[in-house]
Chain A
């Protein structure tokens, strides 16, 4: 960013400098050249009709007008010369194509710079016409000095702005990087590093740090609440369950009376565990256990595990495999995720329907789709199914606690994977995609 800004500024400065220099060079002499050209044209016109005397006459007349223009006519062959120069100037400099410059003493004794054109007649005679450009020359030098100064200041501006923008951009980058790190790692204890305090950006960083501190306090408050729930409700529930189990052993009660109560307690506990597990996953600090996962292998295991259940329900469970690169993840969690999805698909399928699991890779995106031909999910419910305890109207009579898809979502969020619910008409397609880094 800073570099780009500096380069732009630099390019514009060079362009401006070049423009000033070039424009000055070309245009300051244009008028002088034009004046000389007019006189040459005039003299040529005269020489055509009246010849040399007329030219001499004109030149003398012009000299008498004494506007500072110098004339010198020289015909070497005929040893003829006239004008207000004694001879052709000896030391000349080439100003540009066709124009020469030389120094000459003026009437008042100054040595001034003249620009001249020499016209050569057909007979070899030469006529020099020169005009005083000392003043123009002075202005031009001024201009050159002036543009050099502008260039210098521009350079200073560029340097200073480079340092400023570099400073600003690096600050912004630090803030951005820290924010990104916090999002990626879920580590709210991170802060933006501040080494100065005089500038607005450090001020902003300080405010952001305070904001982070506040968020951290709030989040840890929420975590404390859920930890308390875990401790305060789960433990007595476990005791209740255990005592019930003891009761069953001690009193020779018929099992059928106690077992349903035990089952109910187990169900309560498992719901509770799932809930806490989702909360834990949402804290999102599990990357350290990530390993390479062969999705093809893992999905084969899921299919193999659930195949007997599908078979028992007369549902065809098919797997369309593919060889895909490894993804990074926690294999137990990923297994749990697809086990839940396949389990759901089987749960909501009827006899003779098909559940298809499809693995494919397209341009660094690995997609796993679970197709079923069951009742599907209505558009209005698609967003809600990921909410905790949400159950669609059609699923209320089935087993489950309404946490299966919440767990799937939490797992996939942790893996930065995407989940989409599509229509299979009839049925549902759950599409999960992992983007390879």
Chain B
């Protein structure tokens, strides 16, 4: 069973700030994705309903039709395309509102491109894989993780992990071949959306690496300026 390492996606970007839009467009193209852009909500909604996209990046504040209305309209017509909301407003309240109106993920401006790329790729993959949720074992090289018994094996050795460490490894493995940022790990594994002042995640990763006998970082690789990745080598 082999999965494609680079999954080419067709992504719709609805963003009125030309600069940001170009920047995203360029970045996504370089990462090997096809991109369509719209600079207002109306055109964006038109594109989203007439073409088929793997994912969309939608700004909250848009001329003609605001982002949340676009998403609501899409969801109202049973369009399940994954949507990442971009917003200059970083309030938790806005976040909740954005996610409630049907967004799948939420990113606050200013953002680093690696964070955006990591998130949109994971959103796109999640969608393409949906339906295939019977996976009970995750693995990379000789590391194996059993989701049912919650046991981790490296070769023949059984590794004893705390529940949070297990979840951390599970999340990394589930998104094998994808860069996962520190913020994404905090949200997914700890389920809190907050801004850690210190790099707490790094310490947790290094602890996890020690436990799975990966002190050099061959399994969990650090991606500078972005986050972590477990590469897909099978």
A binds B: yes
Q: If A234-B110, A242-B23 touch, does A274 touch B93 (CB 8 Å cutoff)? A: no
Interface 1/0s, chain B 6-40, versus A by CB < 8 A? 00000000000101100100100010000000000
Q: If A288-B93, A309-B198, A340-B197 touch, does A245 touch B112 (CB 8 Å cutoff)? A: yes
Across the interface, do B93 and A289 meet the contact criterion of CB distance under 8 Å?
yes
Interface residues of B in 201-216 (CB under 8 A from A): 203-204, 206-207
Measured between alpha carbons, how far is A96 from B93 in the docked complex, in Å?
Answer: 83
Question: How many residue-residue contacts, CB under 8 A, span A and B?
Answer: 92
Q: Does B131 contact A (CB under 8 A)?
A: no
Selected interface stretch from B43-51, B73-81, B170-178, B188-196: B188-196
With a CB–CB cut-off of 8 A, which chain B residues contact A241?
A: 110, 112
Across the interface, do A274 and B113 meet the contact criterion of CB distance under 8 Å?
no
With a CB–CB cut-off of 8 A, which chain B residues contact A249?
A: 30
With a CB–CB cut-off of 8 A, which chain B residues contact A347?
A: 198
Across the interface, do B164 and A339 meet the contact criterion of CB distance under 8 Å?
no
Across the interface, do B200 and A305 meet the contact criterion of CB distance under 8 Å?
yes
Measured between alpha carbons, how far is A238 from B17 in the docked complex, in Å?
Answer: 12
With a CB–CB cut-off of 8 A, which chain B residues contact A305?
A: 190, 196, 200, 204
Measured between alpha carbons, how far is A330 from B90 in the docked complex, in Å?
Answer: 14
With a CB–CB cut-off of 8 A, which chain A residues contact B90?
A: 273, 276-277, 280
With a CB–CB cut-off of 8 A, which chain B residues contact A280?
A: 90-91
Measured between alpha carbons, how far is A74 from B164 in the docked complex, in Å?
Answer: 118
Q: Does A239 contact B (CB under 8 A)?
A: yes
Q: If A286-B92, A301-B190, A306-B200 touch, does A336 touch B112 (CB 8 Å cutoff)? A: no
Shortest CB distance A295–B (Å): 14
With a CB–CB cut-off of 8 A, which chain A residues contact B224?
A: 255, 259
Q: Does B223 contact A (CB under 8 A)?
A: no
With a CB–CB cut-off of 8 A, which chain B residues contact A308?
A: 200, 203-204, 206-207
Across the interface, do A262 and B17 meet the contact criterion of CB distance under 8 Å?
no
Interface residues of A in 235-274 (CB under 8 A from B): 235, 237-239, 241-242, 245-246, 249, 255, 259, 262, 266, 269-270, 273-274
Q: If A234-B110, A306-B200, A312-B203 touch, does A336 touch B93 (CB 8 Å cutoff)? A: no
Q: Does B150 contact A (CB under 8 A)?
A: no
Measured between alpha carbons, how far is A270 from B20 in the docked complex, in Å?
Answer: 18
Measured between alpha carbons, how far is A395 from B193 in the docked complex, in Å?
Answer: 27
Measured between alpha carbons, how far is A301 from B191 in the docked complex, in Å?
Answer: 10
Across the interface, do A269 and B110 meet the contact criterion of CB distance under 8 Å?
yes
Shortest CB distance A128–B (Å): 97
Shortest CB distance A345–B (Å): 12
With a CB–CB cut-off of 8 A, which chain B residues contact A333?
A: 92, 194
Q: Which of the four size classes fits the interface of chain B?
A: 20 to 34
With a CB–CB cut-off of 8 A, which chain B residues contact A255?
A: 224
Interface 1/0s, chain A 317-338, versus B by CB < 8 A? 0000000000000111101100
Q: Does B88 contact A (CB under 8 A)?
A: yes
Across the interface, do A286 and B91 meet the contact criterion of CB distance under 8 Å?
yes
Q: Does B109 contact A (CB under 8 A)?
A: yes
With a CB–CB cut-off of 8 A, which chain A residues contact B193?
A: 332
Q: Does B225 contact A (CB under 8 A)?
A: yes
Measured between alpha carbons, how far is A161 from B145 in the docked complex, in Å?
Answer: 81
Shortest CB distance B61–A (Å): 11
With a CB–CB cut-off of 8 A, which chain A residues contact B26?
A: 246
Residue of A nearest to B208 (CB): A308
Residue of B nearest to A262 (CB): B225
Across the interface, do B197 and A289 meet the contact criterion of CB distance under 8 Å?
no
Most-contacted residue by chain B among A238, A239, A255, A259 (CB, 10 A): A238
Measured between alpha carbons, how far is A242 from B96 in the docked complex, in Å?
Answer: 27
Interface 1/0s, chain A 335-379, versus B by CB < 8 A? 110011001001100000000000000000000000000000000
Known A245-B112, A309-B200, A333-B194; further 16 A-B contacts with Cβ < 8 A: A234-B109, A235-B19, A238-B109, A241-B110, A242-B23, A245-B225, A273-B90, A286-B93, A304-B164, A305-B196, A308-B206, A332-B192, A333-B92, A339-B196, A339-B197, A343-B197
List, sorted by A's number, 9 A–B pairs whose CB atoms are closer than 8 Å. A234-B109, A238-B20, A273-B90, A273-B110, A280-B90, A332-B194, A333-B92, A336-B194, A343-B196
Q: In the A-B complex, list the 9 residue pairs whose CB atoms are closest, starting with the nearest.
A: A238-B110, A336-B194, A308-B203, A335-B192, A332-B193, A309-B203, A308-B207, A289-B93, A332-B92
